[in-house]
């Protein structure tokens, strides 16, 4: 029995899978639990294949009404598209600015005090777990309709993810150079700038670019709750049953997301 | 220069790394700490510059006991340290790594913007020149070989303009030729600049070749202290164990043989 616990595969004795009744029982039990969870969730969500099949003709009907896309509205989409891009740029930038102090404070190895470490981790977890749409609803209520609440929503939600990754990468750095700089008598900020920043910078820049891609995608739906960008056009055309307009908006979103992804990966390849 | 009184260190897991060390190091001396791995050499060196906080005992530097953070930074500024794994910042250039040795002497705000006085830059180049690497100044540190990286480490320590250089197994990761080069640079610094050098080694040959004084450690205790000359077989066995270590009956020390798989 003790040998079974050995993590090394090479050292595991070769026994048939049914060789140990206890192990077989445990696996069957695990399987039963998993099946139970899936069945329970299926009931909770009214999972129903028949309904899906019955819905196919209607789906076809909607698609047929979406085609061909109404390209005449393209000029009208230029403004909201640019606005979406602007929202993503400022949302990401503000997030990066807020992330730096929180990320530093949430890294165990440089946090000034365990309580500050815990508090920063808590704030980062909290903002990460609240979706940008919910933030957008809150900020629309606070500062009114328009792109600005969208910027704030993206910034607040992004801080959670960026800060967590920043803190984790600071915790995973090679501690040797830090020790060496402390040994020279350098002050804490000098150690951060010279021993920590160079080690985490490439990873952090990559992360920020990735966050920008995600934020652009999110910015395309912020308009649905009145927080600016092309999402407003999307929801308007849907509400007015102008499905051909909607198709054009979706195409614009698709193209813009691809362009942003492309720019981001190009910049990344230039940096690393 | 450095006086150590009854220095003790016990780590959180109960390991007693140092069991009461008394040692006085004169200014300008070239001392080798010799001992097997786990003897406490690294811990002793790190206690001297406060990277490890001692559990007991006292350390005096230039006559005064080292207490408190401000005083510790002041002591560290006057002590260069060299590491087994070099501990350079790999993504920075060689010259930037050497300038790191000037940080404690620089204005915090300017240095955080990566601004250094012209004389510091010239001094850093001078230090690189002394270890024979001035032509590599603007390469990234991780492009250099191990021996070269260790010489950058020495240049960084030199840039501090230190009174003491502590070197923790500086040649353990190097091939014999590079090791010899690094050791002779350390000796040269010791002789020409009068810098006190304390080097930990586990290689008896290198120790006898370069040391003015050999201090042998075993299991956290000082077992040999010898100035000049080669170690006698008896002294070697005091440090590394064997038939003379704890009496004749200990000649086959099975406790040290570890059959457990790695």
Q: How confident is the model at residue A5 (pLDDT cuts 50, 70, 90)?
A: low
Residues B36 and B68 in one domain: yes
Tell me which of B50, B100, B115 to substitute to probe the interface with A (most A C-beta atoms closer than 10 Å).
Answer: B100
Q: What is the mean pLDDT of chain A?
A: 86
pLDDT in tens, B83-141: 999 999 999 999 999 999 999 888 888 888 888 888 999 999 999 999 999 898 899 99
**Min distance A184 CA to chain B CA atoms (Å):** 5
Q: Which residues lie closer than 8 Å to B222 by C-beta, 6 or more apart?
A: B21, B22, B23, B215, B216
Minimum Cα–Cα distance from A188: chain B residue:
B108
Contact A184 B80 (CB under 8 A): yes
Q: Would you call A7 an interface residue with chain B, using a CB distance cutoff of 8 Å?
A: no
**Min distance B224 CA to chain A CA atoms (Å):** 28
Contact B238, B224 (CB under 8 A): yes
Q: What is the mean pLDDT of chain B?
A: 85
- How many contacts (CB atoms, under 8 Å) link A and B? 83
Please identify, among B128, B161, B194, the residue that sits at the C-terminal boundary of a domain: B161
Q: How confident is the model at residue A18 (pLDDT cuts 50, 70, 90)?
A: low
For residue B126, the model assigns a pLDDT of 92
Q: Which of B73, B85, B89 sits opposite A195 (nearest CB)?
A: B89
List the alpha helices (DSSP H) in A144-174.
147-171
Determine the Cα–Cα distance for residues B137 and B151; give it in Å rounded to an integer. Answer: 12
For residue B248, the model assigns a pLDDT of 40
Instruction: Report, as an integer, the average pLDDT of A38-52.
Output: 87
Minimum Cα–Cα distance from B100: chain A residue:
A181
Residues B73 and B33 in one domain: yes
Determine the Cα–Cα distance for residues A152 and A159; give it in Å rounded to an integer. Answer: 11
Contact A111, A105 (CB under 8 A): yes
Instruction: Report, as an integer, the average pLDDT of B236-252.
Output: 59
Instruction: Supply B111's token pair.
Output: 């240095």
Q: Which of B51, B86, B90 sits opposite A182 (nearest CB)?
A: B51
Asked if residue B255 is part of any domain, the answer here is no
For residue B251, the model assigns a pLDDT of 41
Instruction: Report, as an integer, the average pLDDT of B152-160.
Output: 94
Better-predicted residue by pLDDT, A87 or A272: A87
Q: Would you call B114 an interface residue with chain A, using a CB distance cutoff of 8 Å?
A: yes
Sign of CA dihedral A31, A33, A35, A38: negative
- Whether omega before A68 lies within 30 degrees of 0, making that bond cis, reads yes
> A200: which chain B residues are within 8 Å (Cβ-Cβ)?
none
Please identify, among B161, B186, B208, the residue that sits at the C-terminal boundary of a domain: B161
Q: Which residues lie closer than 8 Å to B145 by C-beta, 6 or more apart?
A: B178
Asked if residue B257 is part of any domain, the answer here is no
Percent of chain A residues past pLDDT 70, beyond the cut:
93
Residues B92 and B157 in one domain: yes
Contact B103 A189 (CB under 8 A): no
Contact B137, B95 (CB under 8 A): yes
Taking 70 as the threshold, does the pLDDT of residue B161 lie above it? yes
Residues B10 and B125 in one domain: no
SS3 of B132-176: the string is: CCHHHCCCEHHHCCHHHHHHHHHHHHHHCCCCEEEEECCCCCCCH
Question: At B58, is the secondary structure helix, strand, or coil?
Answer: strand
Strand B56-61 relative to strand B64-65, pairing = antiparallel
Determine the Cα–Cα distance for residues B50 and A8; give it in Å rounded to an integer. Answer: 40
Strand B2-10 relative to strand B164-168, pairing = unpaired
For residue A226, the model assigns a pLDDT of 82
> B86: which chain A residues are within 8 Å (Cβ-Cβ)?
176
Please identify, among B130, B161, B192, the residue that sits at the C-terminal boundary of a domain: B161
Q: How confident is the model at residue A13 (pLDDT cuts 50, 70, 90)?
A: low
> B153: which chain A residues are within 8 Å (Cβ-Cβ)?
180
For residue A176, the model assigns a pLDDT of 92
For residue A22, the model assigns a pLDDT of 80
pLDDT in tens, A176-208: 999 999 999 888 889 999 999 999 998 899 899
Sign of CA dihedral B12, B17, B22, B27: negative
> B51: which chain A residues are within 8 Å (Cβ-Cβ)?
179, 182-183
Instruction: Supply A226's token pair.
Output: 């009145």
Minimum Cα–Cα distance from B168: chain A residue:
A180
Determine the Cα–Cα distance for residues B87 and A153; give it in Å rounded to an integer. Answer: 42
Q: How confident is the model at residue B257 (pLDDT cuts 50, 70, 90)?
A: very low
DSSP string, A199-223: HHHHHHHHHHHHHHHHHHHHHHHHG
Contact B89 A194 (CB under 8 A): yes
* Biggest alpha carbon–alpha carbon distance for chain A: 74
> Of how many residues is chain A composed?
272
Asked if residue B254 is part of any domain, the answer here is no
Instruction: Supply B95's token pair.
Output: 């010259």
> B103: which chain A residues are within 8 Å (Cβ-Cβ)?
181, 184-187, 190, 194
pLDDT in tens, A55-96: 888 888 888 888 888 888 888 888 888 989 999 999 999 999
Residues B157 and B178 in one domain: no
- In terms of C-beta distances under 8 Å and separation of at least 24 residues, what long-range contacts does A203-207 make, across chains too? A203/A169, A204/A165, A204/A166, A204/A169, A205/A268, A205/A271, A206/A268, A206/A271, A206/A272, A207/A162, A207/A165, A207/A166
Better-predicted residue by pLDDT, A127 or B230: A127
Contact A244, A68 (CB under 8 A): yes
Residues B23 and B128 in one domain: no
Residues B73 and B170 in one domain: yes
Asked if residue B253 is part of any domain, the answer here is no
Taking 90 as the threshold, does the pLDDT of residue B15 lie above it? no
Q: Domain range spanning residue B205?
A: 1-78+163-247
> A198: which chain B residues are within 8 Å (Cβ-Cβ)?
89-92
Residues B25 and B54 in one domain: yes
Determine the Cα–Cα distance for residues A211 and B237; give it in Å rounded to an integer. Answer: 61
Asked if residue B10 is part of any domain, the answer here is yes
Instruction: Report, as an integer, the average pLDDT of A228-242.
Output: 85
Instruction: Report, as an integer, the average pLDDT of B237-244.
Output: 73
Strand B30-34 relative to strand B221-227, pairing = unpaired
Residues B169 and B243 in one domain: yes
Taking 60 as the threshold, does the pLDDT of residue A112 lie above it? yes
Better-predicted residue by pLDDT, A7 or A232: A232
Q: Would you call A271 an interface residue with chain B, using a CB distance cutoff of 8 Å?
A: no
Determine the Cα–Cα distance for residues B156 and B154; give it in Å rounded to an integer. Answer: 5
Check which CATH number belongs to the domain holding B207 and give it. Answer: 3.40.50.300
Helices (H) and strands (E) in chain A, counts: 11, 0
Contact B88 A177 (CB under 8 A): yes
Residues B134 and B66 in one domain: no
Output the CA–CA distances (angstroms, integers) from residue B178 to B81, B184, B190, B197, in the order listed.
18, 10, 18, 19
Q: Which of A176, A185, A189 sits opposite B104 (nearest CB)?
A: A185
Instruction: Pick the range with the lowest mean pLDDT from A99-113, A235-249, B56-70, B202-216.
Output: B56-70
For residue A77, the model assigns a pLDDT of 84
Q: How confident is the model at residue B253 (pLDDT cuts 50, 70, 90)?
A: very low
Residues B196 and B221 in one domain: yes
Determine the Cα–Cα distance for residues B94 and B124; give it in Å rounded to an integer. Answer: 10
Domain total of chain B: 2
Instruction: Report, as an integer, the average pLDDT of A218-229.
Output: 85
Asked if residue B93 is part of any domain, the answer here is yes
For residue B107, the model assigns a pLDDT of 84
Contact B88 A201 (CB under 8 A): no
Contact B77 A183 (CB under 8 A): no
Determine the Cα–Cα distance for residues B60 and B37; give it in Å rounded to an integer. Answer: 26
Query: Which residues 63-82 in chain B show a CB within 8 A of chain A?
Result: 73-81
Residues B136 and B201 in one domain: no
Q: How confident is the model at residue A7 (pLDDT cuts 50, 70, 90)?
A: low
Contact B198, B48 (CB under 8 A): yes
What CATH fold (topology level) applies to the domain A73-271?
Answer: MetI-like fold (1.10.3720)
Asked if residue B137 is part of any domain, the answer here is yes
């Amino acid at each position: 029995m003790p040998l079974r616990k050995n993590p090394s595969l090479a050292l595991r004795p070769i026994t048939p899978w049914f060789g140990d009744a206890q192990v077989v029982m445990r696996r069957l039990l695990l399987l039963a639990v998993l099946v139970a969870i899936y069945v329970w969730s299926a009931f909770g969500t009214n999972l129903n294949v028949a309904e899906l099949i019955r819905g196919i003709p209607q789906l076809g009907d909607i698609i047929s009404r979406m085609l061909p896309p109404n390209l005449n509205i393209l000029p009208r989409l230029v403004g909201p598209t640019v606005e979406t891009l602007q929202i993503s740029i400022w949302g990401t930038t503000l997030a990066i600015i807020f992330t730096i102090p929180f990320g530093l404070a949430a890294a165990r190895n440089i946090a000034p005090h365990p309580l500050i470490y815990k508090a920063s981790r808590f704030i980062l977890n909290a903002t990460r777990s609240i979706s940008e749409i919910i933030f957008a609803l809150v900020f629309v209520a606070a500062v009114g309709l328009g792109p600005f609440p969208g910027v704030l929503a993206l910034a607040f939600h992004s801080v959670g993810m960026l800060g967590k990754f920043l803190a984790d990468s600071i915790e995973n750095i090679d501690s040797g150079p830090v020790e060496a700089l402390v040994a020279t008598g350098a002050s804490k900020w000098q150690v951060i700038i010279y021993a920590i920043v160079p080690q985490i910078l490439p990873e952090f820049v990559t992360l920020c670019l990735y966050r920008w891609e995600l934020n652009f995608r999110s910015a395309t739906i912020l308009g649905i709750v009145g927080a600016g960008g092309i999402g407003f056009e999307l929801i308007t055309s849907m509400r007015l049953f102008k499905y051909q307009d909607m198709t054009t908006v979706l195409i614009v979103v698709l193209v813009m997301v691809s362009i942003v992804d492309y720019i981001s990966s190009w910049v990344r390849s230039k940096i690393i | 220069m450095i006086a150590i009184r009854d220095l003790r260190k016990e780590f959180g897991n109960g390991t007693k790394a140092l069991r009461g060390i008394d040692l006085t190091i004169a200014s300008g001396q070239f001392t080798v700490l010799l001992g097997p791995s786990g003897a406490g050499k690294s811990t002793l060196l790190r206690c001297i510059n406060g990277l490890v906080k001692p559990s007991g005992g006292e350390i005096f530097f230039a006559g005064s006991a080292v207490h408190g953070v401000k005083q510790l930074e002041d002591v560290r500024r006057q002590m260069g340290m060299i590491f087994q794994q070099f501990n350079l910042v790999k993504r920075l250039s060689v010259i930037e790594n050497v300038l790191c040795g000037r940080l404690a002497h620089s204005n915090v705000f300017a240095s955080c913007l990566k601004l250094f006085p012209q004389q510091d830059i010239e001094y850093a180049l001078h230090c690189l020149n002394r270890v024979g690497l001035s032509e590599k100044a603007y390469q990234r540190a991780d492009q250099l070989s191990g021996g070269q990286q260790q010489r950058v480490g020495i240049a960084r320590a030199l840039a501090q303009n230190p009174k003491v250089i502590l070197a923790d197994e500086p040649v353990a990761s190097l091939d014999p030729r590079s090791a010899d080069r690094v050791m002779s640079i350390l000796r040269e610094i010791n002789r020409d600049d009068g810098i006190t050098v304390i080097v930990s080694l586990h290689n008896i040959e290198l120790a006898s070749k370069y040391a003015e004084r050999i201090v042998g450690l075993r299991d956290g205790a000082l077992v040999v202290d010898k100035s000049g000359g080669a170690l006698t077989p008896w002294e070697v066995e005091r440090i590394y164990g064997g038939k003379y270590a704890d009496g004749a009956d200990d000649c086959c020390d099975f406790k040290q043989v570890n059959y457990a798989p790695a």
